[in-house]
A and B are shown apart, each in its own frame.
Chain A
């Protein structure tokens, strides 16, 4: 896919927010591009919702500027911002019908009645609720309420749609389905979506870029793939998926390679390209490796760069996958290894000694 040069739609510069002595945001800088599906991901209390509410205009930053579509938003109230929000509780007006809910904002814009009706029906069809306009709000299911909330925001044709954990109230199956639908809808409309979520899987599957937040700061802002493969620190690494952390020490640098001593895996050489810029090698203490990057060599036919021997201490069966806990020599904690349950592959019982294969390119370095 060739993408034109990204055009910024939202610029966040030096945003801080204090509630009394509590600092909810400690200096946020980020640029969100037009047509992008952008996620704010983090545990509860990290400030992601506060940041979203600031963009919507429900909170004012203590310091810093928010620019949306080239306009500084300082002093601009929520009702005059080119953003619309899908609330976590959906905030469906209980005394209005579905059509009145969706047409609520258009009525404020004083559009003619016929035009409102047409736009509302179009918006409802967009979220697969065509013809349900006359339903009362309390007759809707949770999934339908979510769609109404979405239609109500989209019908305003905002520059940015803000979604505050929109899927958290839905059951797993519906949530998975809505993830796909939301993503498709966003790509079709080309509107910028900003999603707040604490669900890393949701963020990974839907977003173009993700800002991972901890304690009021953005820890890493990157594409899902980059976040997963090259997390900047241990916190990001363990928040996104599962990561095995192993002790390590840099022993030297020679002709474009970094020599590493990893007690659990052995001594290896990493190409310099794999070393993050600015990493102070003297402070290097830990490396990370994802469970799927470690392979239990069942019959010896698979080829891997390196092999160590380990002992299986436990298994967890997930249907398509099995997660093994494996003890490696020279490492106190068990590492986790995930294996696909492909045809003819049986589960190794605890107590067995197995060869574990891995490659140097899957090593992630941390301070």
Chain B
């Protein structure tokens, strides 16, 4: 028997629950099933097989793309978090008034769509783009630079910019939560600012740093818009390949196996980061 309170609770979450079951769990189960089937020209062969995984894990093209994706998103994550930390720190420790205004300004990039922001970088970095025109205008270069766009660097730059607010906010929240008397206590016990930062501030901000890392890392591995628009052929990532398999190549089972494989890899990396963070952050409650 359901008690009144339980029934009320279930009723309260049921729309969300239903929605996430339909929109998240169901497609995931579908992808999982697909990955054990195979494509026979236009028809799906529903006999269970591991062939897709065998192909995904043995063909060099796929591992190259996976490694490139991981490399790009790890660099993006590192750049983003390392740049986000000082901003969050400044915001938490040095902005006394108008904190809300600052937070608001940090979210300004969200006002335009992701797609537009990626296009913006295309405009800035392009052959006849803002940067090249400016550099030519002041006479630093004679011919437009071609290494700016359509490579992995452009992908890193674009993604790092797009994800910066997501990295700043969790670190900011973690820093805000640090009891300021702990910092005074550390100083009182003989620590200068640098020692204090590494012994108190950083370990206590670790949950925020880990959250930022994961928030940036997980979606960027699977991003396909940025690599497609600014990545050129060098900048293509695993998600582009998955998209091709589901689309042009008409091999959904292989696409599903690739998707699940990269999901597994990202999940394990995330778990490692989480555990490392926990270890460095110490026994925070």
**Interface pair A105/B189, CB less than 8 Å apart:** yes
Residue of A nearest to B281 (CB): A95
State how many residues of chain B have any CB contact under 8 Å with chain A.
22
Interface centre among B179, B189, B199 (most CB of A within 10 A): B189
Among the stretches B59-67, B76-84, B190-198, the one at the interface with A is B190-198
Which residues in B have their C-beta under 8 angstroms from that of A156?
189-190
**Interface pair B282/A91, CB less than 8 Å apart:** no
Cα A136 to Cα B203 with chains together (Å): 15
Cα A109 to Cα B190 with chains together (Å): 8
**Interface pair B282/A56, CB less than 8 Å apart:** no
**Interface pair A104/B189, CB less than 8 Å apart:** yes
With known contacts A108-B190, A109-B190, A78–B285 Cβ distance under 8 A:
no
**Interface pair A89/B285, CB less than 8 Å apart:** no
**Interface pair B188/A95, CB less than 8 Å apart:** no
**Interface pair B285/A138, CB less than 8 Å apart:** yes
**Interface pair A95/B179, CB less than 8 Å apart:** no
Cα A83 to Cα B200 with chains together (Å): 20
Which residues in A have their C-beta under 8 angstroms from that of B284?
94-95
* CB of B250, distance to nearest CB on chain A (Å): 53
Cα A91 to Cα B204 with chains together (Å): 13
Which residues in A have their C-beta under 8 angstroms from that of B192?
77, 79
**Interface pair B187/A91, CB less than 8 Å apart:** no
**Interface pair B188/A84, CB less than 8 Å apart:** yes
Asked if B181 is an interface residue, CB under 8 A from chain A, the answer is: yes
Asked if A239 is an interface residue, CB under 8 A from chain B, the answer is: no
Name the one of B181, B187, B283 contacting A78, with C-beta atoms under 8 angstroms. Answer: B187
**Interface pair A87/B181, CB less than 8 Å apart:** yes
Name the one of B181, B190, B195 contacting A91, with C-beta atoms under 8 angstroms. Answer: B181
State how many residues of chain A have any CB contact under 8 Å with chain B.
28
Interface 0/1 of A63-93, CB less than 8 Å to B? 0000000000000011110011101110101
Name the one of B188, B190, B204 contacting A56, with C-beta atoms under 8 angstroms. Answer: B188
* CB of B229, distance to nearest CB on chain A (Å): 43
**Interface pair A77/B203, CB less than 8 Å apart:** no
Which residues in B have their C-beta under 8 angstroms from that of A89?
179, 181
Residue of B nearest to A104 (CB): B189
Which residues in B have their C-beta under 8 angstroms from that of A96?
282-283
**Interface pair A79/B181, CB less than 8 Å apart:** no
* CB of B275, distance to nearest CB on chain A (Å): 16
Residue of B nearest to A136 (CB): B283
**Interface pair A152/B189, CB less than 8 Å apart:** yes
**Interface pair A95/B190, CB less than 8 Å apart:** no
* CB of B279, distance to nearest CB on chain A (Å): 11
Which residues in A have their C-beta under 8 angstroms from that of B281?
95
Cα A156 to Cα B190 with chains together (Å): 9
Given contacts A56-B188, A78-B187, 17 further A-B contacts (CB under 8 A): A57-B187, A58-B184, A58-B187, A79-B189, A79-B190, A79-B192, A84-B188, A88-B181, A89-B179, A91-B181, A93-B186, A93-B200, A94-B285, A95-B203, A97-B283, A104-B186, A156-B190
Q: List 15 A-B contacts (CB under 8 A).
A: A57-B187, A78-B184, A79-B187, A79-B188, A79-B192, A88-B181, A89-B179, A91-B185, A93-B182, A93-B200, A109-B190, A136-B283, A138-B283, A152-B185, A156-B190
